[in-house]
Structure 1
């Protein structure tokens, strides 16, 4: 008796089925790769966003400290004017004051001061 040739022959339907499985697996792999790339891009973007937000937080802390220091300086101005007023009230009018004719208002701490801003500004070049 002769053996059957059908046992040695590869089934045509089985090869089609395995090729379909390979194609489906490749499509699924491609889809997962795209998903992984999107998640990686989101992670990088989130890290950059976190860096920027932390930088803004540090800037806000610096501005808060500067505002506090500014407030402390402003708090001292009335005390300084009070001290100046006490000094001017305690001082006797000198000969120089009487010669220049300064008014009693100067003794109260009210004095105009001229600041030469033209000399403080850098010269501008005109073309």
Structure 2
């Protein structure tokens, strides 16, 4: 005894039996496809937006570092003007005399000292040959 299949009588297995269900399924499929395409486009746009924001963040970090360095340089200017005023004061005290270093001492005990930079910048081999 063989039993008959009930799958053939089901509406989901009958392909051409009900065109209304088929059209509704196709419409729902198209709607879901459009929704998927829209979500995919949103994901791509979000990734591009994220890249741009990360680029702006990198630029902001660079500007913050530059601002910090700029502040450090500006912080040195008062000291530079103090050194220049010491130099001018020492030149006014000894207009024609250049041999006596004790005369270049200011009233608060500060003195302008010359450091030979050329010797400091020479490679170590040249310094060994001189000594």
Compute the TM-score of the two structures, normalised by the length of structure 1: 0.59
Could you tell me which runs of 5 or more consecutive residues in structure 1 were left unpaired when the two chains were aligned: 1-13, 96-127
**1:17-39 Cα distance to aligned partner (Å, 9 max, x none):** 62111111100000000000000
Compute the TM-score of the two structures, normalised by the length of structure 2: 0.58
Alpha-carbon separation, structure 2, partners of 1:15 and 1:76: 86
Task: State how many pairs are aligned.
Answer: 82
Alpha-carbon separation, structure 2, partners of 1:74 and 1:15: 82
Q: How many angstroms does 1:94 deviate by? A: 3.4
Return structure 1 stretches of 4+ with deviation > 3 angstroms: 14-17
The higher-RCO structure (CA 8 Å, 6+ apart) is 1
Alpha-carbon separation, structure 2, partners of 1:44 and 1:17: 41
Alpha-carbon separation, structure 2, partners of 1:15 and 1:51: 48
RMSD: 2.0
Q: What secondary structure sits across from 2:59 in the alignment?
A: helix
Alpha-carbon separation, structure 1, partners of 2:15 and 2:90: 112
**1:59-113 Cα distance to aligned partner (Å, 9 max, x none):** 0000000000000000000100101111221232139xxxxxxxxxxxxxxxxxx
- 44 and 15 in structure 1: CA distance in 2 versus 1, 3 angstrom threshold: closer
